[in-house]
Amino acid sequence: HVLGTEALAARSSDETFDWSGLAKIGLSVYSDETGPEASPAISPMYLEILTRRTEVFLKQSCGIQDIQPHLAFPPSVRVQRDKADVPFQIVILFSGREIMGPEKIGEATVMTQMNGVVIEHTALAEVAVFRTMDGSLVYRTSAVERESLEQLDAPIGATQPSAFEAREILRAHAAQQALDRALAHVASVCREG
């Protein structure tokens, strides 16, 4: 979705959504790896951290105290509305893209040059609020963030994360930065509400 149209962009939102008095909301957080040239999904461990971060934000910044995490997202959002008794559901969808290439690490600082790779990850965080009664989109925003990582071909030190772990951390950190920017938009409207 970073390369093309955002997943939720095609749906129009109700600009008059009133956040005031919103005491209960469902929360679903997903990482999508299906877009063209998409990076792998964020690991479940990091998704859980991002979910908890969002819960804290909704409580502290928007005053929403009853948050029901991990409710099903469409097509089953209508089925869940009766069981969950949640009037609105906030959905956060992460997607990303990575570009990787060779790098001479230390070249800029005139240090001993070592071979490695540089990985640039672009993360997109889409935040949407759906009315569960009819599945209509009532609010949406998004943010993009880029983070990069240099990795030596021959790691120095035994306590370094593996190449796989380092890329997972990079994805999660970029997603967190994009989420924070998107939630700043949410904060500006939910406080007014």
Residue at token pair 């943010």: 143
Q: Is the pLDDT of residue 6 over 60?
A: no
Q: Is the pLDDT of residue 31 over 80?
A: yes
At residue 121, the pLDDT reads 94
Per-residue pLDDT at 54:
96
Task: Give the mean pLDDT of 64-93.
Answer: 70
Residues 109, 106: Cα–Cα separation, whole Å: 5
Dist. CA 8–CA 157, nearest whole Å: 43
CB 32 within 8 A of CB 7: yes
pTM of the complete model = 0.82
The predicted-structure confidence for 138-179, as pLDDT tens digits, reads as follows 899 999 999 998 877 776 767 778 888 989 999 999 999 999
Give the model confidence (pLDDT) of 9-19 as tens digits: 554 455 567 88
Q: Which of 132, 147, 35 is nearest to 93 (CA)?
A: 35
pLDDT band at 57 (very low <50, low <70, confident <90, very high): very high
What's the CA gap between 94 and 47, in Å, rounded? 9
What was the pLDDT predicted at 137? 87
Fold for 24-190, please state it: Double Stranded RNA Binding Domain (3.30.160)
